[in-house]
Structure 1
């Protein structure tokens, strides 16, 4: 099997299930934990990932289809998007090559609009991602695209820290995690988060006022911790 990516929590490899190429996510054993606790936490996160992926699809948010899950082997077999790139790679490597500034701005607005809409739909359905970063968003080019990624399908991925919650504060934390990630990873485009937030507000039909208020509270606490150290 070909290793696509390896991190601290899991590795991704190319494999096959039911005669079809797929992505296999295998979670590592954490030897610093008690074996029973490690097995329990791993199974819970795998179940959460599978449930959230299915719930996203039901809510109109693109997510990988889970083909099979082997809890004992710590493996999830999921849909593989061969030509996709992460939103992080798109922002850092594709957009800088767009010479026309108006087109580049248009592309940024399209991307932030789609990201905000997806998160808004998730939160409306009480789906919490838990690790919102541009590395956990895929852009899968449409068949009509000429490899320039003008036309693509946006896909949310990596639901290992996801949960179901009606809490406005938990949703506010989800937004705060995204904001901090964007400031760290894409500091050269300072308005990314605000554009995403505008689209989020338009798509979220839940208790939006309370969510934004909680987000502001979480942001204020984060700034205080940063100042105090």
Structure 2
């Protein structure tokens, strides 16, 4: 299947391709081997990482989070085949679309979608690991909020891990989208309203922020 695929992106951990799958277009994510590791160990660790990503993706989708549909997983060649999402990346939307930049109502609608989706992810103890506005999309067909790229995801019930997940997204908002403090505050408000266990996580978030500021001051 890789032979007929088109490479669209390459990161530090994987190559991303588009390829035909039955009657539709699919995304194929291929994790490549790390040459500095022993081949046997590398194969074992890569297979575990592929399996973990697929499980987190499936767990979130089962809980009602809109994620790419999983088509198949092949641990032998370290690939995951999943749905190709037709839509707009939130990062691009907030940078280029004046309707979202200037319209408070539109921003609040988006904040609600993000907050509810994150609440559902954390409610099933999935930590995304790389929450940025590049990994959030709106489906073209129904404007549903889609979370993508679970490559660094793992399972944890610790409030600290969930707080760090939120902190990563907050840093992404503030560094990429100027004057987005109010929007992120709204995201946390919807997160809290839709997740009963959120209070302890938000308390941890305050601690994580403080540690982040101290590190910035130290340099």
Q: Given the two structures, how large is their TM-score scaled by the length of structure 2?
A: 0.91
For 1:159-198, list aligned pairs within 5 A: 159-198=150-189
Inter-partner Cα distance in structure 2 for 1:99 and 1:8 = 31
Q: Which residue of 2 aligns with 1:78?
A: 82
Look up the match of 2:114. Answer: 115
Structure-to-structure mapping, 1:213-228, within 5 angstroms:
213-228=203-218
Higher relative CO (Cα under 8 Å, sequence separation at least 6) belongs to: 1
- Three-state SS of the structure 1 residue aligned to 2:181 is coil
- In structure 1, C-alpha distance between the alignment counterparts of 2:38 and 2:176, rounded to whole Å: 35
| Count of matched residue positions in the alignment of Structure 1 and Structure 2 | 215
User: Are the structure 2 counterparts of residues 220 and 55 from structure 1 closer, same or farther at C-alpha, using a change threshold of 3 Å?
Assistant: same
Consecutive unaligned residues in structure 2, runs of 5 or more? none
C-alpha separation between the residues in 2 aligned to 1:99 and 1:210?
Answer: 31
Change (3 A) 1:41 1:93: farther
Alpha-carbon contact 2:132-2:173 (below 8 Å) kept: yes
In structure 1, stretches of 5+ residues that fail to align are 143-150
Change (3 A) 1:15 1:99: closer
C-alpha spacing 1:99/1:175, structure 2 compared with 1 (3 Å):
closer
Name the counterpart of 2:96.
93
Q: CA deviation at 1:17?
A: 2.9
CA contact (8 A) 1:48 1:159 kept: no
Question: Structure 1: how far apart are the matches of 2:181 and 2:160?
Answer: 24
Q: Shift of residue 99 of structure 1?
A: 9.2
- Residues in 2 aligned to 1:24 and 1:121: alpha-carbon distance in whole angstroms: 25
Query: What is the CA–CA distance in structure 2 between the aligned matches of 1:115 and 1:189, rounded to whole Å?
Result: 14
**Structure 1 segment 129-168 matched on structure 2, within 5 A:** 129-142=128-141, 152-168=143-159
Give TM-score, length-normalised by structure 1: 0.87
Deviations 1:8-45 (A, max 9, x none): 22221111234432111111222233333332332222
Instruction: Give distance in 2, aligned partners of 1:9 and 1:91.
Output: 27
Cα distance in 1 for partners of 2:45, 2:113 equals: 32
Distance 1:41 1:99 in 2: 42
Give a deviation string over 1:151-201, Cα, whole Å, max 9, x none.
Answer: 511111111111111111111111111111111111243323211111110
CA distance in 2, matches of 1:100, 1:49: 33
In the alignment, the residues of structure 2 paired with residue 37 and residue 222 of structure 1 have an alpha-carbon distance, to the nearest angstrom, of 34
Secondary structure of 1:111's aligned partner: helix
Q: CA RMSD in A?
A: 1.8
**Contact 1:12–1:23 (CA<8 Å) still a contact in 2?**
yes
